[in-house]
């Protein structure tokens, strides 16, 4: 394992606050976008003239680590991270390692081990970025997907058996797990978030076909809704919601859904906003017993990795969410505005129709920090 501690001590005054962040770039473009994010965050810290700084611990976990050690991270990996104030994550997955091994061995191990049960995925329409939606524009569309991040379809319950049966007779089961506690905490979280926005919440299930776990979710949603009479509610099946994302996105504010459904819907949202490379996310442990983790929604993009042309905006937006979580709300807003200004000026990577390289977008965002 390579551990690198760096600290920007430029102009540090005695009252400076140092945030300890673990960076895990992992695979493919994850390395490029985390590098971009660190560059922007360190620039913000320099601009703060000593008010705050970041102490980085960078870990080389991922598919190359797997090739050397036969595992995605050390056995005691979570212990090496748990005292950080946040984790800044890139993306995991590479063709050399089966996807379920890389995902469960690193990202899901951290999310579940640190009980990061709330996954926030804003769908942000940026100026200068063309959406495939007619009439879509940054002035009236923005919503947040709140994803249950600890159980549901990704609980990891099930198994494979009967591999020895003749005639390819193997059987696999994969169970979804819905608990009342798990449903209630994410639904309450989403209602509280709706109260800070346009006070509309859409709950998404497939409870007509999945009559146990998702009906429990619906029941909890109706019960919790009674505590929030000021928030408008709707319950929508996931198939209908995917149509609504395209046909009536103006109706959306906070969309709360299970692990799998929200995973799929948030990719649809980011594609509608222009590209998967734009989408940011926060995996939160709201009680702050463990570090929360901030990462772009996209994967390691092996098709474009290593060429310096990936879009860093999703990772930079995730850095803005991390600043907010650390109590640096003004700095987070500053970064969001710098991202919007960069896009407005047409400094865009190829996935959103531009010609700029990753480093050019990163430099432009730094130039537009206030
Ligand atoms: N959170 C994660 O770590 C995460 C999420 C999704 C997929 N994955 C893993 O990533 C690997 C590749 O998966 P995939 O191809 O299904 O999804 P992907 O998100 O890596 O790529 C899908 C498409 O989006 C493009 N894209 C993604 N990020 C981009 C960026 N920043 N800028 C420009 N274009 C971008 C890619 O070029 C590709 O065409 C797999 O191993 C998968 O398991 C990891």
Give the domain-ending residue among 273, 296, 311.
Answer: 273
Per the structure, the complete domain to which residue 305 belongs is given by: 1-125+274-370
CATH label of the domain that carries residue 228: 3.40.718.10
| Six-digit token string for 28 | 């493919």
Q: Which residues contact 164 (CB under 8 A, 6 or more apart)?
A: none
- Ligand 1 centroid, distance to 9 Cα (angstroms): 35
pTM: 0.90
Q: What's the average model confidence in pLDDT over 283-296? A: 97
- For 196-256, the DSSP string reads TTTSEEEEEE-TTT-TTHHHHHHHHHHHHHTT-TTSEEEEEEHHHHHHHHHH-GGG-SEEE
What's the average model confidence in pLDDT over 205-218?
94
Instruction: Note the maximum CA span of the chain.
Output: 72
pLDDT (tens digit per residue) in 294-318: 999 999 999 999 999 999 999 999 9
**Count of domains observed in the chain:** 2
Within this chain, do residues 279 and 265 fall inside the same structural domain, yes or no? no
> Residues 230, 258: one domain?
yes
pLDDT at 147: 98
Mean pLDDT of 320-333: 97
CA of 269 to the centre of ligand 1 (A): 15
Does one domain contain both 139 and 264? Answer: yes
- The pLDDT, as a whole number, for residue 139 is 67
For 86-131, the pLDDT digits (tens) are 999 999 999 999 998 999 999 999 999 999 999 999 999 899 888 8
Phi, psi of 350 (to 5 degrees): -65, -30
Of the candidates 273, 300, 318, which is a domain's last residue? 273
**Same-domain check for residues 224 and 298:** no
Are 93 and 146 part of one and the same domain? no
Domain shared by 116 and 160, yes or no: no
Residues 256 and 160 both lie in one domain:
yes
CA–CA dist 140, 359 (Å, integer) = 30
Same domain assignment for residues 117 and 219: no
| Ligand 1 atom with least separation from CA of 302 | 12
Q: Are 116 and 180 in the same domain? A: no
Using DSSP bridges, classify how beta strands 152-161 and 171-177 pair: parallel, antiparallel or unpaired.
antiparallel
End position of a domain, from candidates 244, 273, 302: 273
The tokens describing 99, both together, are 């996807």
Which residues, judged by CB distance below 6 Å to any ligand atom, belong to the binding site of ligand 1?
A: 29, 33, 91-93, 99, 103, 107, 276-277, 295, 298-304, 310-311, 314, 351
Q: What are the structure tokens assigned to 189, written together?
A: 């979280």
């Amino acid at each position: 394992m390579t551990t690198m501690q760096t600290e920007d001590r430029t102009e540090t005054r005695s009252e400076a606050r140092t945030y300890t962040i673990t960076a895990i770039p992992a695979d493919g473009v994850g390395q490029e976008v985390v590098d971009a994010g660190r560059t922007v965050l360190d620039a913000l810290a320099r601009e703060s003239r000593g008010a705050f700084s970041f102490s980085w611990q960078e870990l080389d976990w991922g598919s190359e680590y797997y090739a050397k050690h036969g595992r995605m991270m050390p056995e005691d990996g979570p212990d090496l991270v748990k005292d950080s104030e946040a984790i800044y994550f890139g993306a995991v997955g590479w063709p050399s390692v089966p996807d379920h091994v890389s995902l469960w061995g690193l990202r899901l191990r951290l999310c579940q081990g640190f009980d990061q049960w709330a996954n926030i995925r804003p769908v942000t329409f940026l100026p200068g970025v063309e959406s495939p939606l007619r009439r879509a524009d940054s002035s009236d569309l923005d919503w947040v997907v709140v994803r249950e991040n600890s159980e549901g379809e990704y609980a990891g319950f099930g198994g494979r058996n009967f591999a020895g049966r003749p005639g390819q007779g193997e059987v696999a089961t994969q169970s979804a797990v819905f608990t009342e506690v798990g449903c209630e905490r994410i639904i309450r979280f989403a209602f509280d978030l709706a109260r800070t926005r346009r006070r509309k919440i859409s709950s998404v299930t497939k409870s007509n076909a999945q009559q146990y776990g998702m009906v429990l979710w619906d029941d909890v949603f109706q019960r919790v809704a009674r505590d929030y009479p000021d928030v408008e509610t709707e319950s929508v099946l996931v198939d209908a919601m995917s149509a609504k994302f395209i046909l009536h996105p103006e109706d959306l504010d906070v969309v709360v859904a299970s692990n799998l459904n929200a995973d799929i819907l948030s990719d649809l949202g980011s594609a509608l906003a222009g590209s998967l490379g734009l989408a940011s996310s926060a995996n939160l442990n709201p009680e702050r017993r463990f570090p929360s983790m901030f990462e772009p929604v996209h994967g390691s993009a092996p098709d474009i990795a290593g060429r310096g042309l990936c879009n860093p905006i999703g990772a930079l937006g995730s850095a803005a969410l991390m600043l907010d979580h650390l109590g640096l709300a003004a700095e987070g807003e500053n970064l969001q505005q710098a991202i919007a200004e960069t896009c407005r000026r047409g400094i865009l990577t190829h996935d959103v129709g531009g010609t700029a390289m990753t480093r050019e977008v990163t430099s432009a965002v730094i130039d537009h920090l206030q």
